[in-house]
Structure 1
Amino acid sequence: MSRMGALGARLHRGDGGIDFIGRRKIWYLISLVLVAISLGGLGFKGLEMGVEFRGGAVFTTPADTKLSVEDARDTASSVSGRDAKVQRLGNDSLRITVTGLDTDNQGETREALAKELGIPAGKLNAELVGPSWGEQMTSKALTGMVIFLVLVSVYLAIAFEWRMALAALVALIHDLVITVGVYAIVGFEVTPGTVVGLLTILGYSLYDTVVVFDKVREKTATLGDDIRYTYGELANQGLNGTVVRSINTSIVALLPVAALLFIGAGLLGGGMLKDIALSLFVGLAAGTYSSIMIATPVVVDLKNLEPAVKAHDKRVLHKRARRAEVGGSDEDALPDGPQDGADSAVEQADDAPDDKATVGAGPVVGQRRTQPQSRGRGRGRPSGKRR
């Protein structure tokens, strides 16, 4: 068995564990820093919306084009009067994008580029995208995302509880903000591929979170009967039981996405492939982090506000303190095991009256118990037996 597999087996059995819940303030701080950086990049640089959302024209030259990227950009910009973006594709063709270009300017730009290339204008592929189409696409994407979040919240509230639904939404928003912030910082264009990638990572992040929640619910189902652990400790045991599985699944998913982003986009010239791969890569990494470090800790914080959970945790801590007083240790409270002598001693100490009231009335915990001898018993008889 590999080291990762052995670690996962130990965590699943409860032989060891990482205190994710106890360190949740550290995870919250890291997330706040990442979200602040993402919002800062979004506020200062903004998103570079693609031609599909802003409207414009996309020109694609024939394969093996000898025209340089700089010359094609200068020609398109000078004729159209707008900034042009040029990208060389895998077959040495050029993809020239000019946003905000109307029908009249599109014809002039096409003629100028064809003349610069020395080819007929008919061989230069041109696609004109109207701004109204981009607005409709943006509106439909946002509507679909809102419907998705509402349905997810309803499902989680029914399958689990509303606190887990709220925690899952917090994790999803966390992933979206970080992914959008990375797009703003690196300056990638937001294209339909980006929207597809965002919707995909929402589903993946939710899947990972639901798996963790299911294990947490299983561990906390005996909360009223088991007075050895607090709610946060039981939730942490459930989280440890799935953490290795989540990491392994994420690594397996990230490897092909990384190949698309760093190898495929570099060889094939990017385009839609690069847009999807970047959103998937960032979203998968953020989703794995949030399902482990954000979702379950938020559930614990919300559950700790319940009076029943507060009372349970207070009783557990009280029992633990009394166990320490009578010489018990943390090993006396292993999961799924019966109470031993230390726990029994704690029960006796909790049920016994004050020390002053117990003098002469019975044994005291920690003292040796002596039995009074019967008066005249066995007197005059060597064997002590009655005849």
Structure 2
Amino acid sequence: MSRLGNLGARLYRGEVGYDFVAKRKLWYAVSILITITAIAALAVRGLNMGIEFKGGAVFTTPATSVSASQAEEVAEEAAGHDAIVQELGTGGLRIQVSGLDTQQANSIKGEIAEGVQVAEKDITAELVGPSWGKQIANKAWTGLGVFMILVVIYLAIAFEWRMAVAALIALVHDLTITVGIYSLVGFEVTPGTVIGLLTILGYSLYDTVVVFDGLKESSKDITKQTRYTYSEIANRSLNGTLVRSINTTVVALLPVAGLLFIGGGFLGAGMLNDISLSLFVGLAAGAYSSIFIATPLVADLKERDPQMKALKKRVLAKRAAAAAKRDSGHEDADDALDELPEGAVTAPAGAVVGPRGRRGGRSTEKR
């Protein structure tokens, strides 16, 4: 078995672990900082909306010896607006200029033809009205709202309302970060970007639902035992699915990274950036939120329940009694350790721990 597979098995059995839930205030602080940065970027820089949302004209030329950078200068000088130029596989150019109406597009077509050294009649011009982009945006917002409502209803029925709230917060967190990254890097927002944003919602929920399902099974009849608090069970469930979450996220990120960095960056296929950046950032943010946001939030909300508060008191009281017996020396050390809950003899909270302590070759775990 590989090292990663062996680690996953040990995490699942609870032999090793990291106390994510205990450090939740740190994760919350990091997420709040990132979210504030994203919102600030949106407020200051805004989004670079594509021609589909602002309206304008798209000129397509036949094969030409003029470079994309030269054509961009020609188009911007003729139109007085920023232009985006992409090289086509046929050797031609796609020149996109925002904020033009029909009359303006016709007047600069000749100047563009002269600048790129082709005949005016060979250039095709396509006008895009801003109303079409508004329709796309409105439909996207409607789809997003419907999706959020359905997710909350499903999770509330399949699990419980606390998990539904935590998953919803994690989704908003992922979307905010993704849109903020678009604002920071200045990538153009197109209908492809909207598709990417809607696509990451499902990916974002995947890991979260996997952890929630394990937590639901682990917390059955939780009040009938006094070994673990709800937060500890939540942390054990999270550790049990940690390697699986990492594996699925890495496998999903690899092809998207190929689109973004090789296709969009190295090969210069800029249109791939529209969807690949949203997918890449959304997948990474979704994996982060399922581990560091969603599960700790559920634990926070659940620990406020009167039954969970009472359980925590019983667990802590039992541990204190067992520790007192051990320290007083009234009983054999091994017997005292047997009364301690599993994990009480591990390293300090928050550390990655090894196999639980053994004395005389006998496991300290109560059989």
Which of the five TM-score ranges fits, normalised by the shorter chain?
Answer: 0.7 to 0.9
Tell me if 1:167 matches 2:175.
no
User: What is aligned with 2:331?
Assistant: none
CA distance in 2, matches of 1:125, 1:274: 25
Residue deviations 1:258-311 (CA, integer Å, cap 9, x gap)? 011111123543333121111111010000000111000000111111111111
What pairs up with 1:16-95 in 2 under 5 angstroms? 16-63=16-63, 65-89=64-88, 92-95=91-94
In structure 1, the residue matched to 2:294 is 295
Partner of 2:342: 334
State the alpha-carbon separation in 1 of the partners of residues 241 and 19 from structure 2. 14
Question: Larger C-alpha radius of gyration, 1 or 2?
Answer: 1
Deviates more, 1:119-128 or 1:314-323: 119-128
Q: Which residue of the partner structure matches residue 366 of structure 1?
A: none
The change in CA–CA distance for 1:316 and 1:158 in structure 2 (over 3 A counts) is: same
Give the letter aligned to residue 5 of structure 1.
G
In 2, the alpha carbon distance for the partners of 1:268 and 1:59 equals: 22
Query: SS of the residue aligned with 1:312?
Result: helix
Q: Which amino acid aligns with 2:50?
A: G
| In 2, Cα distance between equivalents of 1:231 and 1:89 | 58
Post-superposition offset of 1:165: 0.4
Whichever residue aligns with residue 54 of structure 1, its letter is K
Which amino acid is the alignment partner of residue 33 of structure 2?
V
> For 1:326, what is the secondary structure of its paired residue?
helix
* 1:93-172 alignment runs, 5 A limit: 93-172=92-171
Secondary structure of the equivalent of 1:333? coil
CA contact (8 A) 2:322 2:339 kept: no
Alpha-carbon RMSD across the aligned residues, in angstroms, is: 2.0
In the TM superposition, what is the alpha-carbon distance from 1:99 to its structure 2 partner?
Answer: 0.8
TM-score, structure 1 as length reference: 0.83
- CA deviations on 1:241-264 (whole Å, 9 max, x unpaired) are 101000000000001110111111
| Deviation at residue 200 of structure 1 after TM alignment | 0.9
CA–CA distance in 2 between the matches of 1:72 and 1:133?
Answer: 27
Deviation at 1:123, TM superposition (A): 2.2
Unaligned runs of 5+ in 1: 345-387
Distance in 1, Cα, partners of 2:179 & 2:119:
41
Which residue in 1 is equivalent to 2:348?
none
Distance 2:149 2:170 in 1: 14
- SS of the counterpart of 1:127? strand
How far is the alpha carbon of 1:102 from its aligned partner?
0.4
Q: Is the 8 A contact 1:90 1:269 kept in 2?
A: no
Task: Please say which of residues 320-329 and 282-291 is displaced more in the overlay.
Answer: 320-329
Aligned AA (1:3)? R
- Conservation of the 8 A alpha-carbon contact between 1:90 and 1:267: no
Q: Is the 8 A contact 2:174 2:282 kept in 1?
A: yes
Contact 1:323 1:343 (C-alpha < 8 Å) held by counterparts:
no
Shift of 1:108: 1.8
What percentage of residue pairs aligned between the two structures are identical?
58
The answer as to whether partners of 1:218 and 1:238 remain within 8 angstroms in 2 is: no
Aligned equivalents of 2:338 and 2:58: distance in 1?
A: 68
Residue 273 of structure 1 aligns with which residue?
272
Instruction: Note if contact 2:62-2:118 (Cα within 8 Å) is conserved in structure 1.
Output: no
User: How far, CA to CA, are the matches of 1:155 and 1:93 in structure 2?
Assistant: 50
Number of residue pairs the alignment of both structures matches: 338
